Amino acid sequence: MEMRQMMIEDDKGIRPGIETMRGLPAFYDGAVVTTSSLTNVSLCVDLDAAKQLDRLQPMIEPINYTTLWQLQPVSNS
């Protein structure tokens, strides 16, 4: 699945919670295709407003997409 499509699908589960948050005048999210990364930026009126995102269930659930690669610890043996 392409990055843009992932963000569109995730929007349906995350947006309703974000839109009801106190003190969050703006929230931006996007996908950087060239680096295969997802990013989001939130503008909050204070630290308490920002910390609401730490408790928003869709934001703390793992992303259940197929793992393409992963790093392993280097063995010193």
Distance, in Å, from the CA atom of 74 to the CA atom of 71, rounded to the nearest integer, reads 9
How does residue 47 score in pLDDT terms, banded at 50, 70 and 90? very high
Q: Is the pLDDT of residue 68 over 70?
A: no
pLDDT at residue 19 is higher than 80 = yes
Q: What share of the chain has pLDDT > 70, as a percent? A: 86
pLDDT of residue 8: 82
In the chain, where the domains are located: 3-60
Asked if 13 and 2 count as a contact pair (C-beta separation under 8 A), the reply is no
Q: Report pLDDT for 67.
A: 64
DSSP state of 42: E
C-alpha 7/C-alpha 67 separation (Å) is 16
pTM over 0.95: no
Note the Cα 21 to chain centre separation in Å: 16
